[in-house]
Amino acid sequence: MSTPALATAAEGATRIILVHGTGHGGWCWYRVATLLRAAGHRVDAPDLAASGIDSRQLRDVPTFEDYTRPLLDALRALPPGERAVLVGHSFGGMSIALAAETFPEKVAAAVFVTAFLPDCTNPRSQVIEKVVARVRLLLLVFQFS
């Protein structure tokens, strides 16, 4: 018995870029990516810096832009006129927001799946600092002796 072949993406198919949250990698989208490809979409799930198979440590990634660089490079590499749907989970929401701000002409839509969504009045760094402060507080509250 042979296994059915996955549908190949037709020319003009929707390009979807799946963006993981902190502590994950593109691998976490495996099932979703497989289903989307089977439906004929062109799907990418890059590892952000210091994530997935990227061997760097997070401390070696100096800025949030550097952390998001693989996504930004993927958008930069799209052919002229091609647009992608960005899907971000958890902290990946911050990455897709940066990508949409940086390359608005290359983003057809941004989908935030239980994701952080930056506000429109404060700098991104302030939103990230608030998240880090809450995580530190949670670690103190739920510390076990």
Q: What does the alpha-carbon distance between residue 138 and residue 136 come to, in Å, rounded to a whole number?
A: 5
Mean pLDDT (the chain, rounded): 87
Domain map of the chain by residue range?
Answer: 15-118
Q: Which pLDDT band, with edges at 50, 70 and 90, does 6 fall under?
A: very low
- Contacts with 14 (C-beta within 8 Å, 6 or more apart), sequence order: 41, 42, 85, 108
pLDDT at 142: 67
Residue 120: DSSP 8-state: S
With a cut of 60, say whether residue 3 has pLDDT above it: no
Q: Please choose, from the candidates 28, 44, 26, the residue with its C-alpha nearest in 3D space to the C-alpha of residue 36.
A: 44
- Contacts with 61 (C-beta within 8 Å, 6 or more apart), sequence order: 49, 50, 67
- Contacts with 91 (C-beta within 8 Å, 6 or more apart), sequence order: 21, 22, 115, 116, 131
15-118 adopts what CATH topology?
Rossmann fold (3.40.50)
pLDDT at 143: 61
Q: What does the alpha-carbon distance between residue 17 and residue 59 come to, in Å, rounded to a whole number?
A: 25
* Phi, psi for residue 20 in degrees, rounded to 5: -75, 165
Beta-strand relationship, 42-44 and 84-90 = unpaired
Spatial contact of 99 and 72, defined as CB atoms under 8 Å apart: yes
pTM: 0.83
